[in-house]
Amino acid sequence: MFFATELDTVTHAIQLAVAPVFLLTAVAGMIGTVAGRLARIIDRARLLEDRIEAAAPEKSMLSAYEELKRLRSRGRLVNACIALLTFCAILIGLTIMTLFIGETTAVQILRFATVFFLSSVSCFLLALVCFLSETLLATQMLKFGKPKKS
């Protein structure tokens, strides 16, 4: 495999390969945000489970079970979002490697960079849809001071 030795070629390859890193930064920020939401969902579910276990057997805990069901749905959406973001980050890494190798060698793999990049953007967009869905579900769970239905 032939590697370029000219400074201009290597510099251009680095510039080209570093451009997707900005998307990688956005993905890392999103993973942090979504992981925080997952932690809050888990904490709330543990609290509800403890309340259910401590409750008297004859006391109805239907509202707690209903909230746990919604938390489970939110958790699934958040897990899907994290999986998509992680896969997006992997695809961005593959894009960076492909761009660099394609620019510095005679190997014709630049078409793969296009596929990897478009796939990573698709994963990012799907993750945003999951994030939006989870946020809407979380907002629906709020009562906003409404009285309980009898």
pLDDT mean across residues, the chain: 87
Q: What is the pLDDT of residue 80?
A: 98
Distance CA 22, CA 70 (A): 34
Residue 84: how many other CB atoms lie within 10 Å: 24
Instruction: Over range 35-51, report the average pLDDT.
Output: 95
Q: Report domain extents, the chain.
A: 9-140
How far apart are alpha carbons 4 and 137 in whole angstroms? 52
pLDDT tens digits, residue range 85-127? 999 999 999 998 888 888 888 888 888 989 999 999 999 999 9
3 state SS of 3: strand
Rounded to 10 deg, the angle between the 62-104 and 21-54 helix axes is: 160
Q: Can you give the pLDDT at residue 109?
A: 85
How many helices (H) and strands (E) in the chain?
4, 0
Q: Which residues contact 116 (CB under 8 A, 6 or more apart)?
A: 91, 92, 94, 95, 98
Query: pTM (2 decimals)?
Result: 0.82
Return the SS3 of 80. Answer: helix
What share of the chain has pLDDT > 90, as a percent? Answer: 54
